[in-house]
Amino acid sequence: MSNLQPARGTHDILPDEMRAHRRVVGIAGEVAERYGYEFMATPVFEFSQVFKRTLGDTSDIVTKEMYTFIDKGDDEITLRPENTAGVARCYISEGLAQKAPVRFFYAGPMFRFERPQKGRLRQFHQIGIENIGIAGAMADIEVIAAGARILDELGVADKTVLELNTLGDAESRDAYRAVLVEYLEKRIDELSKESRERLTRNPLRVLDSKDEGDRKVVAGAPVYSDYLNDASRAFFDEVREGLAALDISYRLNPRLVRGLDYYSHTAFEFTTEHLGSQGAVMAGGRYDGLIGMMGGTATPGVGWAAGIERLAMLCGEAPAARRPIAVVPVGDEAKMPALKLSEELRRAGYRVDLGHSGNLSKRMKRANKVNASAALIIGEDELARGAATLRDLDSGEQEEAALASLVDRLARFR
């Protein structure tokens, strides 16, 4: 029944992994809130134009990775491969300019047709933040600081490195693109087929090629920082000054580029060596060109996105589930009283696992299997006395407790 497998590149998130994901989203969302970023969500699918117009016809995402289809209303729809374009679309269509600047946090599934491997899925999940409406470097610093704090509070900061670069403004980029293309064209024979294509469509992308031959060529290429105009240089200096003031260390990586035209100035990535070849954990940058490119009033923005699966893997073992109290009725007479007691305990805030079948030893096995901290055994004798046997499943100690006093007696097992 191979068709009952999850589709290639997708997987079921069972409770252990789900707890790990929820911890990532919970901590990240709470930290983001402290920085003023509020939870929001855009739809999982959008008109394809939202992505095609913005990600450009040459990006890897648009050319190879999008899940696009015609729906029954003849609209061309794409499952979102990332969330920045959706948030920008929302900013325009919801008229959020009135509220600018806005700060958003999101978490949810993204879809890319990729070659699946560990840490690389076709349906994966991201958290991210977007800061829209602030042109100055303080926003870039804030966004990076929030990312760094999240990694710190997740306990993975020491497993990651912040890599930083600037893409400058449009003028600087045009100047650099011209010299880069000139340099690369002279060495076109040494470039991979992919990079030869990039050369005409999106030459900056050659800089982050993973191909060995490309890397050798790139090593000798002109360096972007030599072509930054004064304004771009000043912007980058302020970002660096802010990071220094906050004691956020980073490594300059002149090869770090976002391939998309709407990016400018700050580009950054938190990377790790703990996840094999999937080293990118959190990636972001400034996208001043995006909202204008979509047809809105030109509006600056900066943000990042991070893969939840990769973050959860970095965090290591999933947090333990909350331990329940096992309620164990013995005999038919005890069924209804056990049901009522369970309900009462749940109302009082306890997690309860109510045994449903089997004899006493089977139910006690079940109590151990669900890692219950205590068992409440209710048999005929106990019932007659209006009591239950309370067993501490860690120490094995047991005592009889009046049903009326149970909510309080259980307090130490909360």
Contacts with ligand ATP, residue ranges (CB under 6 A): 82, 112, 114, 119-121, 124, 126, 278, 280-283, 305-307, 309-310
Find, among 287, 254, 314, 298, the residue nearest to 143 by Cα. 287
Give the amino acid at 24: V
How far is the C-alpha of 82 from the C-alpha of 99, rounded, in Å? 24
- Decide: 405 and 385 in contact? Cβ < 8 Å: no
Q: Could you tell me which residues come within 8 angstroms of residue 200 by beta carbon, excluding any fewer than 6 positions away? A: none
DSSP designation for 1? -
User: Of 139 and 305, which CB lies nearer to ligand ATP in the complex structure?
Assistant: 305
Q: How far is the CB of 386 from ligand ATP (least distance, A)?
A: 56
Q: Which is nearer to ligand ATP, 136 or 276 (CB)?
A: 276
Q: Whose Cβ is closer to ligand ATP: residue 106's or residue 350's?
A: 106
- The smaller minimum CB distance to ligand ATP, of residues 126 and 342, is found at 126
CB nearer ligand ATP, residue 86 or residue 307: 307
Minimum separation from the CB atom of position 34 to ligand ATP (A): 22
How would you label 194-213 residue by residue, b for 16+ Cβ within 10 Å and e otherwise?
ebeebbeebbbbbbbbeeee
What is the closest distance, in whole angstroms, from the C-beta atom of residue 32 to ligand ATP in the complex? 16
Give 309 or 353: the residue with its C-beta nearer to ligand ATP.
Answer: 309
Q: Measured at CB, which residue is nearest to ligand ATP? A: 307
Closer by beta carbon to ligand ATP, 117 or else 405 = 117
In angstroms, rounded to a whole number, what is the distance separating the alpha carbons of residues 155 and 161?
Answer: 14
Report yes or no: 305 and 322 within 8 Å, Cβ to Cβ.
no
Could you report how far apart the first and last alpha carbons of the chain are, in Å?
A: 44
Whether 78 and 66 have beta carbons less than 8 Å apart is answered as yes
In the bound complex, what is the minimum distance in angstroms from residue 51's beta carbon to ligand ATP? 12
- Looking at the DSSP assignment, which residues form a beta bridge with residue 381? none
Burial readout 101-111 (b: 16 or more C-beta within 10 A, e: otherwise): bbbbbbbbebb
Residue closer to ligand ATP, measured from CB, 193 or 210: 210
Helix (H, G, I), strand (E, B) or coil at 164: strand
Q: How far is the CB of 267 from ligand ATP (least distance, A)?
A: 10
DSSP 393: T
Q: What are phi and psi of 269, to 5 degrees?
A: -155, 130
Q: What is the DSSP letter of 118?
A: T
The least distance separating ligand ATP from the CB of residue 123, rounded to whole angstroms, comes to 8
What is the nearest approach in angstroms of ligand ATP to the Cβ of residue 345?
Answer: 40
Whichever of 112 and 205 has its CB closer to ligand ATP, that residue is 112
Owner of token pair 């068709």: 3
| Minimum CB distance to ligand ATP, residue 357 (Å) | 41
Pairwise CA distance, residues 180 & 20, whole Å: 44
Residue 371 CA to residue 274 CA, distance in Å, equals 31
Nearest Cα neighbor of 201 from 222, 181, 173 is 181
Closest approach of ligand ATP to the CB of residue 368, in Å: 36
- Which residue lies nearer to ligand ATP by CB, 58 or 278? 278
Cβ at position 276, least distance to ligand ATP in Å: 11
The sheet with strand 352-354 has its strands ordered as 352-354, 325-329, 374-378, 387-392, 398-402
What is the greatest pairwise CA distance in the chain? 94
